[in-house]
């Protein structure tokens, strides 16, 4: 299994950079994509990019662990109710900051748009990195997860998200790791048309 020993300061720096980029996009400092004035059926898709805060509950060696951190996410919806999502999360233990969980995931999602609310469900697959107590080991595992939540449109280009995910880390010592993860985020929605798709 791959081992990556990196200093905690490097990870903190990367998380700050990730959140700074996400906030710049949310603030409108990024490049604004222009959707063509074509019928919805002819559009190539619907994109949002966001970042947020992570609150997780996990277990190692039958001991509960609470973690907090940051996240970045992107969704691309190419049909009325189907799309693709990619997520990155990094969270550290609140009682022991040498413990952290980092995940990279991608998978399909299904959604409905009802006014300003877009509830969704998703199935994700990816890779998780677990840094053990006092950095005695840094090991990567395959994972899959089930989740869902809702995006709330607060303006033409801004969505607020509440997301829940149950992760399953495969091959983790002493049984599979099953973190419960809540993400609260804000995303820039690249579109000049409302709503995204017809109901």
* Segment-wise mean pLDDT, segments of 10 residues, the chain, 199 residues: 40 46 39 35 75 95 92 92 96 95 98 94 98 93 97 95 97 87 96 48
Residue 195 lies in a domain: no
Peptide bond into 38 cis (omega under 30): no
Residue 84: which domain range? 8-31+46-190
**CATH for 111:** 2.40.160.20
- Number of domains the chain is built from: 1
Residue 199 lies in a domain: no
Residue 198 lies in a domain: no
Residue 63 lies in a domain: yes
Q: Does the pTM of the predicted model rise above 0.85?
A: no
């Amino acid at each position: 299994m791959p081992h990556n020993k990196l200093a905690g300061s490097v990870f903190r720096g990367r998380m700050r950079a990730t959140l700074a980029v996400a906030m710049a996009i949310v603030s409108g400092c990024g490049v604004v994509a222009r959707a063509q004035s074509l019928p919805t059926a002819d559009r190539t898709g619907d994109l949002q990019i966001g970042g947020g805060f992570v609150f997780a509950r996990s277990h190692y060696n039958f001991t509960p662990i609470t973690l907090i951190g940051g996240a970045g996410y992107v969704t691309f919806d190419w049909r009325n109710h189907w799309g693709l999502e990619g997520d990155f999360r990094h969270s550290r233990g609140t009682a022991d900051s040498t413990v952290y969980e980092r995940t990279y995931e991608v998978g399909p999602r299904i959604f409905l748009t009802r006014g300003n609310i877009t509830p969704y469900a998703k199935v994700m697959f990816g890779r998780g990195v677990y840094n053990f107590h006092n950095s005695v080991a840094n090991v990567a595992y395959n994972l899959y997860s089930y989740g869902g939540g809702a995006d709330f449109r607060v303006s033409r280009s801004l969505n607020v998200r509440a997301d829940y995910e149950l992760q399953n880390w495969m091959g983790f010592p002493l049984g599979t790791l099953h973190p419960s993860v809540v993400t609260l985020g804000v995303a820039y929605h690249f579109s000049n048309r409302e709503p995204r798709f017809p109901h």
